[in-house]
Amino acid sequence: MAELPPSSGSFLHISITKLAIGSRLFVIVLQLVANLLLPDHDAGVFIAPHDKDAPERPLDALVRFTLGGLNRWDGQYFLHIAEHGYTYENALAFFPLFPFILKIVSSALSSYEVVTFVSYRELSLLLAVLFNVVCFIGAAKALYRLSKHVLGSQKKAEIAVLLFCFNPASIFFTAPYTESLYAWLSFVVMYQCMEDVTSIFLTIPLSLSILCRSNGMFNIGFVLFFAVRRITAQYNFHNVICICSRLFSMLIIVLFHYGIAQVYNYYLFCFVQKFNFPDHVREYAAEHGLVLAGNKSDDSSPWCTNLLPLSYSYVQSHYWNVGFLRYYELKQLPNFLLALPAIYLTLSNSYQYLCDHWDYAVRLGLFRLTKKQHKLMRPYDRFALVFVVHALVLTLFSLLFVHVQVTTRLLCAASPVLYWYTAEYFTGERTFIRRQVIRKLSKQVKDGEENSCTHVLNHIELSDLLDFRWMNGRQQAILVYFFGYTVVGTVLFSNFYPWT
């Protein structure tokens, strides 16, 4: 299932694994070249403190040379947390799963001779990039399975994966960020919900997704929706009791894991205690006025006195200026324009879907269709409602509450809908498909192949997405947007220039 069907002649075909790895290597090479040719911008943001007296290891310079362009922006926080833990209160905005994994692997390797060749910080950077490549492959395969199930079309599923591998937020799927891990976990949750929402194994990716990013909480909505849908489809008292009891147990397990993380944050910043932080970590806190763990005072960490002492909303508001319409300033207009393509694609196509299937949407897609309705609706029309609503909620939340430029990478990592909408542009037009058929048939007849019609109808190849001659304006614009953001974003990000 992970292999694109075989092609003939010069037409390109490639496995999902090779495509995912190739796209990551492209980003890594591009950031290396950009970091060499362009000077770094002084963005005035958090730069993780480094022990200047620490000895330089033989491979440190090589790791910084090849991957230094990826250790930018929030990557500084994740690598700092992996090395020293949550030393500063503003770091609580970054959820613990990703740096915790890096911490475990780096600490395990520290008992071997590898640490004699590379320092802990550089080792964490190298492991983060390798781990994200693995997660990206997993996300691509999970997206393919999910897309094939929802779209009911192998061609559309393949194009969705192709677009995912060169999505507009590609740099964040390779740098020490949570995008690759979160996308993998989220797509697995969505697919498992459709397959068997009552499976106890669903709690694993669901719990991990919530510990990975704050918007992982939205994934609970998929569990609730498909559980209710199953109840309405197989309604009887015994089924309702079984499904509800299992669902309740799953949610308790998930919320318990989330609660542990919040209790740990409370333990760090809501008591006066002595932590053995390195001197350079303490000095950085004093120089930049940061709240250091264990240094609770009457004025610091006011969230500790709340009835429900959750740190995340306070940290986002106090340190990152996140709040209702706070980002609506004239100086932020470039960031709105930067996020506009992803916002437009999501809102316009979601609006079209809801208009076309309003009766179905009003009934929340929970009730059985008549035979006539079932015949008129495609598999995508029947399955996509919850995914469309999820994408709409994420987009509107980004527009109203958070820094709007993150909408692009938020949608690219959390929702498959953006890839499904754009894949539809490449497979939804008969004239485009007809041109493909004519072009392929003409080549196959020229090469003397038999059974050409069967060969053409059973697959779509990578070359279909690379040949501008057979595309209309919308298809060309989508490819320019996806690939252009991949290139420009990588170049800007690797030199500390603002991006999504």
Q: What is the rounded average pLDDT for all residues in the chain?
A: 86
At residue 448, does pLDDT exceed 80?
no
At residue 7, does pLDDT exceed 60?
no
pLDDT grade for 373, boundaries at 50, 70 and 90: low
Query: What percent of the chain lies above the pLDDT cut of 70?
Result: 86
Mean pLDDT in residue range 210-219: 94
At residue 459, does pLDDT exceed 70?
no
Which pLDDT belongs to residue 133? 97
Which pLDDT belongs to residue 361? 85
At residue 238, does pLDDT exceed 80?
no
At residue 129, does pLDDT exceed 90?
yes
Question: What predicted TM-score, i.e. pTM, was given to this entire model?
Answer: 0.89
Which pLDDT belongs to residue 200? 87
Place of tokens 């609006």: 351
Question: Using CA atoms, how far apart are residues 259 and 257, in angstroms rounded to an integer?
Answer: 5
At residue 177, does pLDDT exceed 80?
yes
Which pLDDT belongs to residue 22? 93
pLDDT tens-place string over residues 311-359: 999 999 999 889 898 999 888 899 999 999 999 999 999 999 999 888 8
pLDDT tens-place string over residues 28-72: 999 999 999 999 998 889 999 998 888 888 889 999 999 999 999
At residue 447, does pLDDT exceed 90?
no
Mean pLDDT in residue range 456-480: 67
pLDDT grade for 246, boundaries at 50, 70 and 90: confident
The count of other CB atoms within 10 Å of the CB of residue 437 is 14
pLDDT tens-place string over residues 254-272: 999 999 999 999 999 999 9
At residue 116, does pLDDT exceed 70?
yes
Mean pLDDT in residue range 370-385: 75
Domain locations along the chain:
16-265+327-429+473-494, 431-466
Mean pLDDT in residue range 418-435: 70
